[in-house]
Amino acid sequence: MARVVVVTSGKGGVGKTTTSAAIAMGLAKRGHKTAVIDFDVGLRNLDLIMGCERRVVYDFVNVINGEANLNQALIRDKNCNQLYILPASQTRDKDALSLEGVGRVLEELSKEFKYIVCDSPAGIERGAYLAMYYADDALVVTNPEVSSVRDSDRMLGILASKSRRAELAMDPIKEYLLLTRYDPSRVDSGEMLSLEDVQEILSLHLLGIIPESKSVLTASNAGVPVILDEKSDAGQAYADVVARYLGEKRPHRFIESKKGFLRKLFGGK
């Protein structure tokens, strides 16, 4: 059976789609056959970040409605033959997704794939609910700012109470924290919440910290998941996240500013 992973948050613009693309690519590069699904019906950005927007013929809604089968809609990634993308529809609204339809698609994918990554839309509307309902694991993506953390805290309540696992009294969804757009120098100057502040509010297992990096925008514009940019801080951070998710122990990086690191190195406080 596949492991269903939802990438979610309460707030938009925190990096969910970037994260979904990077995590899915990282899992696939590790040899795990992986599918990544865009649940953001009406907008559809995942195919742009994956660089396959011109190859979309059928989409998630077509499959749910029986207008195409999964093999017709799935797009194999051009950089990794272990990764497949199921794009969202740009011409339908979010009501086109149904709980039963999503369940059928995930069940069919589970026969062939090891991991299924669900790229959730922001907020708590229908698309986000359907993306997380069948999840086994949740990557809660947040920026180090009060509104983002507060909205993520609200999302945790929904994950704990409205998922299939909650309804069937199964083991709860495993929840992980992914802190994105982190800038230690701005934390030092009081412009951002610190990692400790965020963890105190959310009390989640920290899977990784993604530093603020121009390489994220560059990779997105090029249609390439940033994890493939192995020289960038963000690419390395996402590689660490995938490794930790798979059970490897790796130290957390990109937490301290260079000034703070040097101060500690030379015995300062």
Q: Enumerate the known binding-site residues for ATP.
A: 11-18
Q: Record the tokens describing residue 74, joined without a space.
A: 């799935």
E strand intervals along 68-227: 75-76, 83-86, 115-119, 137-142, 174-182, 205-211
Q: Record the tokens describing residue 66, joined without a space.
A: 């029986």
Edge-to-edge strands, sheet with 75-76: 75-76, 83-86, 34-38, 115-119, 3-8, 137-142, 174-182, 205-211
- Which residues are annotated as part of the binding site? 11-18
For residues 134 and 117, is the Cβ–Cβ distance under 8 A? no
